[in-house]
Amino acid sequence: MSRIWDISQKLRAGLPVWPGDTQFSHTPTWEMRDGSPVNVSALTLSTHSGTHADAPLHYDPAGLDSAASDLEPYLGKCLVVDARGSGAAIAIGTVPGLDGIERVLFRTYESFPHDMWDENFTAIEPETIAWLAAQGVKLVGIDTPSLDPQDSKTMDAHKAVLAADMRILEGLVLDDVPPGLYELIALPLPIAGADASPVRAILRELP
């Protein structure tokens, strides 16, 4: 059996979220201990909670929502790149030769900050996004909360993604994943009108 790496954050109370965004909560609706035949609960969360896929609607008012997004970019062979030590943003020189690879995931953390919000996370230079698009890449992922810096008002990396019609995964957990080639499976939920969706992202060992 092929080895599987779960590269998703655990959705839970206390999950760090973008400053000012909705905190995650999970509350019971019906409980067996109170006489209900089943347990049922309710979730309150941001569409960008934990590991998530940005839909084009997130950065383009005319963009596709999560429900309308094609699933193909989120499924298939990908390259995990060790980009630790990149500083404020990942430059083109960090990326190795792709040889037709259409999905690229960047690891920037030595150890993913599960219990704290890191406002100085590593972003990706828009020129790097444009270069990846020119190589045929259709999905870019990163272990930080965003492709752009937290204080960005222009969202230049997201605009570069939009110009190339690429897709985005953010908040991945890549601590235990060696650099190299894998099969990616990280499907967004079909949430009508949503600008993003949490995903259960996994990498599977290639044959």
Rounded Cα gap, residues 160 and 23, in angstroms: 29
| Burial track 139-163 (b if 16+ CB lie within 10 A, e otherwise) | bbbbbbbbbbbeeeeebbbbbbbbe
Per the structure block, which two tokens stand in for 148? Answer: 């752009």
- Please state which architecture CATH assigns to domain 4-204: 3-Layer(bba) Sandwich (3.50)
Other Cβ atoms closer than 10 A to 116: 7
Task: Judge whether 158 is annotated as a binding position.
Answer: yes
Q: Let me know: does 8 contact 200? Beta carbons within 8 Å.
A: yes
pLDDT of residue 1: 86
Instruction: Determine if residue 175 is labeled as part of a ligand binding site.
Output: no
pLDDT for 176 beyond 90: yes
26: annotated active-site residue:
no
Mean pLDDT calculated for residue range 127-150: 98
- Does the predicted model carry a pTM greater than 0.85? yes
pLDDT more than 70, % of the chain: 100
Q: Tell me the C-alpha distance between 113 and 127, whole Å.
A: 27
* 3-state secondary structure (DSSP) of residue 30: strand
Torsion from C-alpha of 39, 13, 184, 149, nearest 10 degrees: 150
* Structure letter (DSSP) for residue 33: G
Instruction: Determine whether the annotation assigns residue 48 to a binding site.
Output: yes
Mean residue pLDDT of the chain comes to 97
pLDDT score of 4:
98
User: Across residues 37-51, what is the average pLDDT?
Assistant: 98
pLDDT of residue 22: 98
Tens digits of residue pLDDT in 95-136: 999 999 999 999 999 999 999 999 999 999 999 999 999 999
Out of 47, 58, 103, 160, pick the active-site residue. Answer: 58
